[in-house]
Every structure is written in structure tokens, then in C-alpha cells.
Amino acid sequence: MTEAVAGALTGGPKLSGRGAARRSELFDDLVALLLREGFAQLTLDDLAARLRCSKRTLYGIASSKEQLVRAVVVHFFRNATARVEAALAAESAPVARLSGYLRAVAAELAPASPQFFDDVAAFGPAAEVYERNTRAAALRVRQLIDEGVAAGAFREVHAAFAADVISSVMVRIQRRQVAASTGLADAAAYGHLTELLLHGLAR
């Protein structure tokens, strides 16, 4: 997962001190709300009521609901990326690095509800952010497989083919196709992919 988009909070004047702290707290509450309930059915009026703030306050974060939603999705994946990479950095053995990476991805996706992911898939700007992160994650997995093969920890597999298969599954997860065909949540699907991958690569 990688999200390089800067400036998730846009559309308002720069604040400092108490104002900045309040905006940050409000945005955290907004992220938690949308991850839990999704966003397609919520209007700005709904969001303001649920967050106990004014619409003007929300416009201080982003200039429209669409920009607000995209900011939340960027924030979610950017923070998830940082934590996943931190988990990866804590491991040194190839098997532990690959399994730790995929399990960390699953753990980061777990708090987000199926409704959130359904809404992301249906909203182009948010879907693009998720897809970009999925492509980056697939590339990271290929790097980890290459490392494991070079170190003799994994069987001599065709790394490009293995990565292509994994990438295809990850894209299907991102597009909600795995959820539709299996009923698995995104996090659970990543967990099963991890087990299949490790058993397939193990010597």
C-alpha cells in the first residue's frame, strides 16, 4: 500500500493551535464514521449532524462532499501504508517479511466495513486511490517474493508469474469481486491469500 497524495485536508484556511487541533479531531471522527458506515447515503447535513458541527466547519476541511470523501480515503490508506511498512521493517527473515506484510495489510483493512468498500468501489475518485494502493501493494509483494527466492527461503518460482497471479487477486479484492463471489470481507480475503501464498512458496 502506498499513497503519495499530499494535502488530504484541503479547502480551508490554515489554522494553528486550538483551531488546528479541533480540525484534526473532527477529521479523525469523520474517518471513523465513514469507515464504519460508508458514505454514499450520507449528505453533508447528515455528516454535520452526526459529528455535531456545522456544515461551514466541514467546508473548512473540504469544499464538497466528494472532496471530503476522497480526503478520508487518502488519509485511511496513507496511515495504513505507514503502519504496514513499519511492521515490515520489524522483520528480517523472508518468510516473516512476506507473511507479516500481507497480514498487516489485512489488519489495516479490518476496521473498514463492507459498506465503506462498496461505496469506495462505486465512487471513481475513491476507487482510483484504492486501486493505486493495490497496485503498489502488488509490486511490494513481488519484491518480497524476489527477496525470498534470492535468499533460498522460497522455492524457485517464476516470480513475475506469481506476482501477476497475486496482483490479479488483489485487484479482484479491491474491485469487490471477491466479496461478491465468496462473501469474504477484504481483510479476510487478504488473510486467505496469505495462507495460500505461503504454502505455495514454502520449500
Q: Does any domain span residue 1?
A: no
The model's confidence at residue 166, banded by pLDDT at 50, 70 and 90, is confident
Instruction: Write down the pLDDT at residue 4.
Output: 35
In whole angstroms, give the CA distance from residue 122 to residue 108.
Answer: 21
pLDDT for residue 8 is more than 50: no
Same domain, 61 and 140: no
DSSP 154: B
Closest CA to 2 of 88, 61, 63: 88
- In this structure, what CATH number is given to the domain that contains residue 28? 1.10.10
Report if pTM > 0.75: yes
Tens of pLDDT, residue by residue over 12-59, are 334 445 667 778 888 899 999 999 999 999 999 999 999 999 999 898
Q: How many domains does the chain have?
A: 2
Instruction: Write down the pLDDT at residue 15.
Output: 42
Please report which residue ranges of the chain form alpha helices under DSSP H. 18-37, 44-51, 55-59, 65-89, 94-109, 114-122, 124-150, 159-174, 177-182, 186-201
Q: Does any domain span residue 5?
A: no
Q: Does any domain span residue 7?
A: no
How far from 109 is each of 94, 112, 155, 190, 191, CA to CA, in Å? Answer: 23, 6, 29, 9, 11
**Residue, of 48 and 156, whose pLDDT is higher:** 48
Q: Does any domain span residue 145?
A: yes
Average pLDDT, the chain: 85
Closest CA to 198 of 103, 65, 76, 71: 103
User: Residues for the chain: how many in total?
Assistant: 203
Same domain, 77 and 63: no
Query: Which residue, chain included where needed, has cell 472532496?
Result: 67
pLDDT for residue 10 is more than 50: no
How far from 25 is each of 22, 53, 146, CA to CA, in Å? Answer: 5, 12, 41
**Residue, of 153 and 64, whose pLDDT is higher:** 64
Highest mean pLDDT, choosing among 57-66, 118-127, 144-153, 189-198? 118-127
Same domain, 50 and 146: no
In whole angstroms, give the CA distance from residue 169 to residue 97.
Answer: 20
Instruction: Write down the pLDDT at residue 18.
Output: 67
Instruction: Write down the pLDDT at residue 153.
Output: 84
Same domain, 50 and 116: no
In whole angstroms, give the CA distance from residue 146 to residue 163.
Answer: 10
Same domain, 27 and 116: no
Strand partners, 202: 154
**Domain that residue 138 falls in:** 69-201
Instruction: Write down the pLDDT at residue 175.
Output: 86
Same domain, 63 and 76: no
Tens of pLDDT, residue by residue over 66-112, are 999 999 999 999 999 999 999 999 999 998 998 899 889 989 999 99
Instruction: Write down the pLDDT at residue 200.
Output: 75
Same domain, 142 and 180: yes
Same domain, 170 and 96: yes
Same domain, 82 and 181: yes
